Structure 1
Amino acid sequence: MTDSLLPGGLGRRGFLAALGVGTVATVAACTSNEAPSSGSGANVAAAGGDNATPGAPVTIGFSAPAADHGWIAAIANNAKAQAEQYPDVTFAPVNPTNDVAQQIAAVETLINQKVDALVILPNDGSQLTSLGRRAMDADIPVINLDRIFDSPLAYRTWIGGDNYGMGVSAGTYIGERLRAANVTNPVIGEVAGIDNLPLTQERSKGFSDALASYGYAVGPRQAADFTAQGGQRVTANLLQAAPKLDALWNHDDDQGIGVLAAINQAGRNEFFMVGGAGSANAMRDIQADNTVLKATVTYSPTMASSAIALARLVAQNRGMSDLVEKEVPTSITLASATITKENVADYLPLGFES
């Protein structure tokens, strides 16, 4: 995503830093083709390192919620496909479930089987924290995927999306577009996900903060439930309450199917919309440019592929060859890119089907 300028010439990275958003790790790249001189004290990563080289055989257990949502389905598919890339990995998934007790029981079987590593996307991070601790205490490294456990003692590495960054990306796109059109006092709607989830709260906070940097504020807001049905229901209510909109952000592209349906049923097209997560169907709509949907901000399920890759390296006591450090980092946050008609072709191959 381009580092588009916010008001005052402040780039998105600077904006995040100014708000106190810490980066997990910064890797400085050497821009010179010359090797560091001897005695310089410089630490550099070995050039040409290859983590794909087979290592010790390992079994990686995997657990995630039921695939009743396009994004979750892509998580499971990506994890399986990544594991199949490695001849030294045995992939051991348990049955997906939306029941916390059933997920705990299923992962306990993997712990008892003494798998070499676990990748867990918990239904509820808080409720499964003790399970992560149990695995770690049994010397089974846990890669905590997306929904984070309450304690860092419950996982070896966390990898997930940037929920606050999603909101910033959506708010920045909307703010730039409205400012370029010289719109004053815009009415900006928001269709959120599940309001009691921290991820929804973080997305809304990032959105509000980014809009505030333009002097704008969030207008009518409704929370849905990350389903197409919920998106359609709450959007119908929002549109009835707001006879005029200038822009709308929907947090989730699966939910967005219903959001767009409600917009079409209401015959509304005086505003533009931004989606969330990066589904393939949303990208195709953006590419066709025949709906109010003009952009989406990513929360990519490719994180599951990376989680399997990290679990393999951790289980094999290997690091990431392009990094100087000998160990895999403890936390990795994916960036949230803004997909528009101009760059959608680059991202479409990574989209998931809603």
Structure 2
Amino acid sequence: MKKSVGRRGFLVSGAVVGAGALVTACTSNAPAATPSSAAPQATTAGTDNDQPGTKVVIGFSAPAADHGWIAAIAKNAETQSKEYSDVEFKPVEPTNDINQQISAVESLIAAKVAALVILPNDGEQLNQVARKAMDAGIPVINLDRVFPDKLSYRTWIGGDNYGMGVAAGTYVGKTLKDKGVTNPVILEIQGIATLPLTMDRSKGFADALKTFGFTVTAKQDAKFTVESGTQVASNLLQAHKKIDAIWNHDDDQGIGVLAAIKEANRSEFFMVGGAGSANAIRDIAADSGVLKATVTYSPTMASSAIKLARLIAQGKGLSDLVENSVPTSITLASETITKENAQKYLPLGFES
């Protein structure tokens, strides 16, 4: 079955700091250096785990870079792999076609790579080929969009999508309460409504709002694209003459959402974004528009996935843990970025 998923299929909450903390935890207690580029990149702390070891080939498969977040995922994975003289990075052609990604992963299995890092277009549809890799003795590091069968991966690393919704809902709820707003009109612009990650984000958002006595007035998905973001936001703006708050799940599609808001000349509400893009963080820092915060879901997780793949392939564990092996699941935290802390997060933002 051919199915194209334009982008993140399951995602966590954005975890800018969480990812950075994990990268350091893999090897050292030393603080990570601040990346100098706009795209988030991991740093390597010099400890025994980072000393050259057994040569390993790490296969990598991800969707096509049709968005800033996915582009940063691929860049971070490649950049991190170059930090190690004992790692050969073997990426396959990125694609948004399910069948093509399955074929690409099968080619890596046939090449007998030491480990596989896979960000699937759709975890359920690639579950079988991931299980095939595991059955062949190739550990799979499942990045972001999860495989439903736990036997299909050795370790999963990704964001906390439910926590992402909670972070956004908490910010929205508290802000409205502090303003003394009652019966607010709260809109939610999702990514792809049918994805488990989206459902988790929406549930977290609703649960957090409930603690303040609020509910979502209306929601619609925008498919993680700028074009759909513009169209969906336009429709919602036309349907609601008064709005108090909007949560947009994704900063990439947020470019379109903000364009629609500007075109409609609306400013009576505030907006919260999602993922932590550099352009969103810059807008928040400038404090000149409706975007007042974003909740993180950082592509630095790809850097951490490469680190984990190397450790697993070489039979090592995380040096800050007592256990001798890498955990089977690592969930990154979702942080809330506001104008007060925007400059701290900007170096880790990805360009949309």
TM-score by length of 2: 0.86
Deviation at 1:53, TM superposition (A): 1.7
Specify the alignment match of 2:202 in structure 1.
204
CA distance in 2, matches of 1:244, 1:200: 25
Tell me, yes or no, if structure 1 residue 241 matches structure 2 residue 239: yes
Deviation at 1:49, TM superposition (A): 5.6
1:74 pairs with 72, 77, 91, which one? 72
SS at match of 2:334: coil
SS at match of 2:59: strand
Show CA shifts across 1:248-296 (max 9, x none). Answer: 1000000000000000011100010000000001001011111100000
2:346 pairs with 341, 345, 348, which one? 348
Specify the alignment match of 1:83 in structure 2.
81
- Counting only pairs closer than 5 Å after superposition, residues 19-34 of structure 1 correspond to structure 2 as none
Which structure exhibits the higher relative contact order, with contacts defined as CA atoms closer than 8 Å and separated by 6 or more residues? 2
1:98 pairs with 96, 99, 103, which one? 96
Deviation at 1:223, TM superposition (A): 1.3
Amino acid at match of 1:292: V
Q: Percent of pairs identical after alignment?
A: 70
Deviation at 1:182, TM superposition (A): 1.3
1:258 pairs with 245, 256, 259, which one? 256
The two structures, once aligned, show a CA RMSD in angstroms of 1.1
Deviation at 1:108, TM superposition (A): 0.9
Deviation at 1:220, TM superposition (A): 2.1
Amino acid at match of 2:213: G
Q: Which moved more, 1:65-74 or 1:177-186?
A: 177-186
Q: Which moved more, 1:181-190 or 1:87-96?
A: 181-190
CA distance in 1, matches of 2:320, 2:47: 7
Specify the alignment match of 1:118 in structure 2.
116
Whether contact under 8 Å (1:220, 1:242) holds in the other structure is no
Whether contact under 8 Å (1:281, 1:353) holds in the other structure is yes
Specify the alignment match of 1:135 in structure 2.
133
Specify the alignment match of 1:36 in structure 2.
none
Amino acid at match of 2:342: V
Structure 2 residue runs of 5 or longer lacking an equivalent are 1-24, 26-45
CA distance in 1, matches of 2:203, 2:82: 38
- Counting only pairs closer than 5 Å after superposition, residues 215-226 of structure 1 correspond to structure 2 as 215-226=213-224
Amino acid at match of 1:115: V
Whether contact under 8 Å (1:189, 1:219) holds in the other structure is yes
Show CA shifts across 1:207-238 (max 9, x none). Answer: 00000000011112121110010000010000
1:282 pairs with 280, 283, 288, which one? 280
Deviation at 1:139, TM superposition (A): 0.7
Tell me, yes or no, if structure 1 residue 55 matches structure 2 residue 53: yes
Whether contact under 8 Å (1:118, 1:311) holds in the other structure is yes
Structure 1 residue runs of 5 or longer lacking an equivalent are 1-26, 28-47
CA distance in 1, matches of 2:49, 2:228: 43
Larger Rg: 1
Amino acid at match of 2:95: T
SS at match of 2:295: strand
Specify the alignment match of 2:168 in structure 1.
170
Whether contact under 8 Å (1:58, 1:90) holds in the other structure is yes
SS at match of 1:184: coil
Amino acid at match of 2:302: A
CA distance in 2, matches of 1:113, 1:125: 22
1:185 pairs with 183, 186, 205, which one? 183
CA distance in 1, matches of 2:305, 2:185: 40
CA distance in 2, matches of 1:141, 1:289: 45
May I ask how many residue pairs the two structures share in their alignment? Answer: 308
Specify the alignment match of 1:335 in structure 2.
333
CA distance in 2, matches of 1:235, 1:226: 13
Whether contact under 8 Å (1:163, 1:203) holds in the other structure is yes
Show CA shifts across 1:23-54 (max 9, x none). Answer: xxxx9xxxxxxxxxxxxxxxxxxxx9642122
Q: Show structure 1 runs of 4+ deviating over 6 A.
A: none
Amino acid at match of 1:330: T
Specify the alignment match of 2:300 in structure 1.
302
